[in-house]
Amino acid sequence: MKIFQDIFAIRGAIKDIRHQGKSIGLVPTMGALHAGHLSLLEASTKENDVTITTIFVNPIQFNNSEDLKNYPSTYEDDITLLEKCGCNIVFAPTAKEMYPTEPVIKISFGELAETMEGAFRPGHFTGVALVVMKLFNILQPTRVYFGQKDLQQFKIIEQMVYDTSLDVELKMVPTVRERSGLALSSRNKRLSKVGKVIAAHIYQALKVAAAGIQAGNDIKASINAAKSNLQSFEAIDLEYLIVVRMKDLQSVETSYDHDQLVLCFAGYVDGIRLIDNLIINE
């Protein structure tokens, strides 16, 4: 497995791979790898000749400097894990390498970014979009793998690929969960033992509400019941719990005309921000 930190060097390697007609699978990460990332890696190694994983904690997607400072980092373990799991290349640039000067352009996404994460983390998707665009330009992937847990991120990147005619295939891989149902996230590393037990209630509440909506229960009533359930835990600080249409992430509270719907959650457990979602009518 080769590790690159600078853009010039990895561009040379990409040129060679492309020249040989090989496909490139890309797994973009911010490190602190877990089994969710490994499922992306597994999909990529199955479907591509070469798999590249990026490890870069992108400072411009954090709207909160404390959150950036506290973001977990397990670089040595990540490298060992990637080597074991068949990754061919790691790209782990420094912030200076990616942003020698403060980037000027701002990519905006209209209504897609006005809800959920976009509403609660101003500027987040502008930062995500720019780094992903840079990674696409540097690494020229054939296919790119993202987790369903970050559904809004996936939709934003899908829009960017569509609007800019990028020649890349996006793949959304189902969320990997702990046995308790808790969605795997690098941020879980910061949860206490008790916090982890409480956080598992998020999935349980989502599951009950999603099953109820699928069975024909009123959407608003189902959401309110799930909210009351979660708010009964002192350690859970709910940010949003909404049902949105998969196609445009617009919120739905009443009937839904056979659109695919997703139940989305964000909130804090023990001060750690977690997100999760369930596709209701898969």
DSSP assignments along 218-233, one per residue: -HHHHHHHHHHHHHTS
Candidates 128-136, 174-182, 192-200, 221-229; binding stretch for ligand PAF (CB under 6 A): 128-136
Any contact of residue 148 with ligand PAF (CB under 6 A)?
no
In whole angstroms, the minimum distance from the beta carbon of 229 to ligand PAF comes to 28
Candidates 14-22, 28-36, 103-111, 173-181; binding stretch for ligand PAF (CB under 6 A): 28-36
Catalytic-role residue among 19, 34, 37, 124 = 37
Q: Which of 10, 48, 129, 150 binds ligand PAF (CB under 6 A)?
A: 150
Any contact of residue 30 with ligand PAF (CB under 6 A)?
yes
Q: Which of 17, 131, 172, 263 binds ligand PAF (CB under 6 A)?
A: 131
Any contact of residue 183 with ligand PAF (CB under 6 A)?
no
User: Is the separation of the CB atoms in 142 and 23 below 8 Å?
Assistant: yes
Any contact of residue 160 with ligand PAF (CB under 6 A)?
no
Nearer to ligand PAF, 189 or 220 (CB): 189
Q: Which of 38, 52, 82, 128 binds ligand PAF (CB under 6 A)?
A: 128
**Token digits for 76?**
């040595």
> Would residue 201 show up in a list of annotated catalytic residues for this protein?
no
Round to whole Å and give the CA distance between 59 and 54: 15
In whole angstroms, the minimum distance from the beta carbon of 165 to ligand PAF comes to 20
Round to whole Å and give the CA distance between 19 and 240: 47
The phi, psi pair for 8, rounded to 5°, reads -60, -45
Show the site string, 58-87: x = touches ligand PAF by CB under 6 A, - = not: x--x--------------------------
Cite the active site residues: 37
Interface ranges with ligand PAF (CB under 6 A): 28-30, 58, 61, 128, 131-132, 150, 153
